[in-house]
Chain A
Amino acid sequence: MARFKSKKSGGVPAINTGSMSDIIFMFLFFFMVITTIRENTLIVRVKVPTATELQKLEKKSLVSYIYVGLPTKKELAGSGTRIQLNDQYASVNNIGDFIALERQSRDEADRRKLTTSLKVDLDTKMGIVADIKQELRKYNALLISYSTRKANEGKLFSGQ
């Protein structure tokens, strides 16, 4: 009778791991969807200054960005400080149109809360920043945020 003995010899049956990859792929897609990829490719060099008294920008959909700094490609855009709106170089006069467009693409209820985040390089002179601020005032975009990085309390003044 030994000839008909079952070949299986006890032991725990193996767990099927075939669906494991599906679960992980689901994770993967979840993360790919929720992470936002930077919306603009920078064509100006921006290194924002450091500060300690920071506030977070709450709603990212209600923020429009203005970049100011030296162009990354000097041979194309010169060596002076330039403003970047969306994907291209702009002058101070274009800010009005830019703000109007940004407003139009938002819900009517949210338009008042539209914040302009100024990402300005730390070597920039205040003249151009003042011009931008005057322009924003003119078009009633009054909420602004000077974009900064977090500084360690002790290191704030070491750069001077």
Chain B
Amino acid sequence: MRKPPEINTGSMADISFLLLTFFLLTSSINTDKGIFRKLPPPADPTVKPADIKDRNIFTVLINKNDRLLVEGKPTDITMLRQQAKEFLSNPADNPELPEKKLEAIAMLGEYLVSKGVISIQNDRGTSYNMYIKVQNELTAAINELRDELAMNKFNRKFDELTDPDLINAVQKAIPISISEAEPVDIGGQQ
């Protein structure tokens, strides 16, 4: 009896390869990235906010035209990072810049932690783009300070540290001290 002819399946692999590459290219493993923040817990109306000395506050105001007012002076955003770094580190112990408090931190020993707080206030008409840029600059200032500290003490950049104890220590030494005031409505919303 004659055998029926076999179908050639050699090209099957090619077809499935084609499908595979198609799916590989079209499906993006979309990783979501962003700037992380922790919001303060709901305000308790019975508790009065703590008084902070004037020298410990770095005020950043953004108006509805996306202009910046930093510590009472109009400033360009390109200068913000440098100013924030100087404020938070206060290298020359300038009496105008924030105080420091000696704290014992595990893995670091005694470290002078700045009491400085960055305060952002924006208008309801401020654009989100500008707000993110300001947040980005302030985060960059903190990250650079953390990098410098980690480089000094552990000989590595902050984001290259793997030991959670070390990461914790640096985070404690240079906290993200950014506070946001409720936005004002001067410019009007549109």
Contact = CB atoms under 8 A, between A and B. Distances in A.
A152 to B, nearest CB: 13
> Majority SS of interface residues in chain B?
mixed
Contact of B34 (A27, A54, A122, A138): A54
Interface in A104-156: 115, 117-118, 120-127, 129-130, 133-134, 136-138, 140, 142-150, 156
Contact of B129 (A20, A24, A122): A122
A17 B10 contact: yes
B132 interface: yes
A127 B33 contact: no
B39 A122 contact: no
A53 B136 contact: yes
A37 B35 contact: no
Given A31-B23, A137-B41, A146-B135, A125 B32 contact: no
Given A21-B13, A35-B29, A122-B128, A148 B34 contact: yes
Given A21-B12, A126-B131, A127-B125, 13 more contacts: A17-B13, A24-B20, A37-B27, A53-B139, A55-B34, A63-B32, A130-B122, A137-B40, A137-B43, A138-B42, A143-B36, A148-B33, A149-B33
